[in-house]
Amino acid sequence: MIMWPFRVKRKDRRSGRVAFLIECLLNQNARDMGAAESPAMTRPVIDLLAEKDVGMVQIPCPEIACLGFPRRRMPGQSIRDALSAPQPTACCERLAVATADRIQHYLDQGFEITAVLGGNMQSPGCAVHQDRTGSGALADSSGVFMRALSVELARRGLQIPFRGMRNADRKLLNEDLDWLRARL
């Protein structure tokens, strides 16, 4: 395996800081029909990261990856229930391992991971709800994928802060942006 010398201060302009974002923050077209909050992207999040010179790594949409673009499920079944079935859950776990691998690669090269940015409070795959113990763990009400990613990062001993970017409510999004601004 080739190891690139990124730990050595390079003579280029990279910031060395990266945030991992769910796909729909960068591309609202990935959202389930009727769930898009803007025409293209969640610009306040993208603009803040760009302003603070933080690179963005897209996390593939777990709903699309595990259920297909139309979010295939039984009639009357919610997306959350469909993602919670054995095969889609295993798919979310594989996606979590791949995302954790990518985070680990950045960390191994000396980059700072500023946050994992998830979705709205109702997102079946990507909601981020902190548990009430203050441990930093995600509550069971979090999305299926985000819980799997949190478990995988904890298994590796990695402590990366998670935050939902709740763009369905302007006031809540402003709170999330304040949190993110303080981290950067």
Given a cut of 70, is residue 21 above it in pLDDT? yes
For the stretch 122-178, pLDDT in tens is 999 999 998 887 667 899 999 999 999 999 999 999 999 999 999 999 999 999 999
Q: At a CB cut-off of 8 Å and minimum separation 6, what does 2 contact?
A: none
Nearest to 49 by CA among 24, 11, 20: 20
> Cα(177)–Cα(101) distance, rounded to whole angstroms?
27
Strand 112-118: give its sheet, edge to edge.
55-59, 17-22, 112-118, 162-164
> pLDDT tens across 60-110, in order?
999 999 999 989 899 999 999 999 999 999 999 999 999 999 999 999 999
pTM: 0.91
Are 95 and 126 a contacting pair, CB within 8 Å?
A: no
